[in-house]
A and B are shown apart, each in its own frame.
Chain A
Amino acid sequence: MEGVNERLGEVIEASTGGFSAQCYKLYELPALGELVKCHYDETEILAVTCGGSTNSFEPGRRPIARGHDETSEDSLYQNNPQLNQLLRSEFGTVVVGFRQEGKYYHYLPSFPVRLHSFVYRCSDEEIIAFGESLEFLILLEGAQCEVPVEELIAACIRRMSVSNGPDSGFSVRAGKKLTEMYSGDYQRLRAILARLR
């Protein structure tokens, strides 16, 4: 069911704990901590974006500075149209749950997504519904990704808080769950809480 969700990219690497996807348009990456979903038969697999990068398609070719004589960054791209074909933006994700028969589950699904699955942005309603339980934060906490886990968790909570609305108290609820998770490690907790604004 494609529905009205925006398509963000296509899976190019997949494992049970997370997947990478390439964006269709250069630089049109989802934000850090965004909730995204893929379909696998009747199941919707949900994941949180944990980092993005833009680099050359071919591992052997590295981007070089081209703008010495350019007046602006935009004119650099204008004057080098082949860049759009040679570069690609991709983002990584951490799987945080799935939806089956209308119900959300906040633990890992049994299978990874398929390659070339389409990755969709989740709507505000889906984010609110998924965020009713905060158990998935534990999956984020154990993620292996290039950004520090504290940044990832904070970005995810900030994003979900926007969908829930400023008066929903979502941030406070998430903060309390984090307090449970990080009991005994106040410094880390404090680092995340400070990033929740």
Chain B
Amino acid sequence: MTIEAPDAFSGGKTPHFEETARESLADSQLRRNLGKATQTIRRKRAVAVEEMPDWERLREAGRALKSRTLRHLDEYLLRLEESITRAGGQVHWARDGEEANRIIAGIARSHGAGEVVKVKSIATDETKLNEHLEGEGIEAFETDLAELIIQLAGETSSHILVPAIHKNRSEIRELFMQKLGVEDLSDDPPDLAEVARLYLREKFLKAKVGISGANFAVAETGTVCVVESEGNGRMCTTLPPVLVTLMGIEKIIPTWQDYEVFMQLLPRSSTAERMNPYTTFWTGVSEGDGPQEFHLVLLDNGRTEVLADEIGRQTLNCIRCSACLNVCPVYERTGGHAYNSVYPGPIGAILTPQLVGIGKSGSDSLPYASSLCGACYEVCPVKINIPEVLIHLRGKVVRHKQDKGGLKGKLDPENVAMQAMAKTFSERRLYEGAQKAARIGQWPLARSGAIHRLPGRLAGWTDARDLKPIPEQTFREWWRSQNGSGEGA
């Protein structure tokens, strides 16, 4: 049974990042597993990238190609539709997740498929496809090993690339023994993989319909591709007679040639390899080879909103490599679930609130789930300036609260403090007055040379850090004492 935990895309309210992060920070197994995993991939990625003398040029080409595509997305969408149709495929358009789910379920039903096999696709997680199919009496079998694991465990993914990173081998062994009816099983990874292989093989050979996502689709030729490691992508896109692919509209690239850029950027950024084990590029249908019926479902579900925001638009450059997750000091410690979204980490912090909309739910807290260190921007293969978008979205969140939040928004303590401080900084006399007032006002808090507890919302600081008191003399007071009241030396 599939359980898709309510998240930002489920339509309801979600908790704030600060709350869920507090819980996951205390999960020692997660901290250990995730810390080790991200450190490992980080180092490997650095090696893979260092080998490339033209890495920065590839990044720039990637960014430019995405910019070109997004600025003319309508034209490219139409070209893609034409190319795929010419090649014998069918193109469907879905305004939102619900619509996409209905289209896909409809195709499965029309072929009498009670079971479908799926390749990992975050887009289908976004739309909650599995849940919808189940409601229609169609069972969707996840075939990525990690997706299989979390599906059996009734959990949700915690990492874009390694979804079961939070599970260790003995937990996986338990799971397989219980849910797959295996009697005797070691927790040795190869043995675990063998069990999955046999179980899924049967499904692949029987399935009438395969469902996948897509990494890229070329407008010029209609060529779609799936980039993977295990081979289940090849299975799902080759064996079943019918293939349905769900793809976000932002995944289009202009020409066949442009693959030469993205197929260099993606493997080194994601699994830190020169090339991932398997990539399949297919164009519509090929006679006598693979599915004879191919459907591409183009998904909007908020992407046009992201597109409309001139600063936020770059978010759609994303090729889902997860390099940003692996370098993020926040993600490394809180894990993916803390983001309450199928898109976690730095990219999730900017993509989720834009897809969902500002002022709707806890995803408003996501742009603040960052210290703005910029490590993500450094590694993004398509040069998304994530810190810039984070700051931009924080602005949208604040303005929404101020303009649409009514009295509650205006009286928000943070807002009040910020307004006051802005006023203080706007005039020298106010500023200097405030400096003096703070110095005087701190005396109840400062004892024995340190401030041990700040009041109210600022208590978070003194929970773990000592604070030294405000000094007796400000810099400008000293300057004046040296130089008189003038500006020069």
Partners in one complex: no
List chain B positions with a Cβ less than 8 A from chain A: none
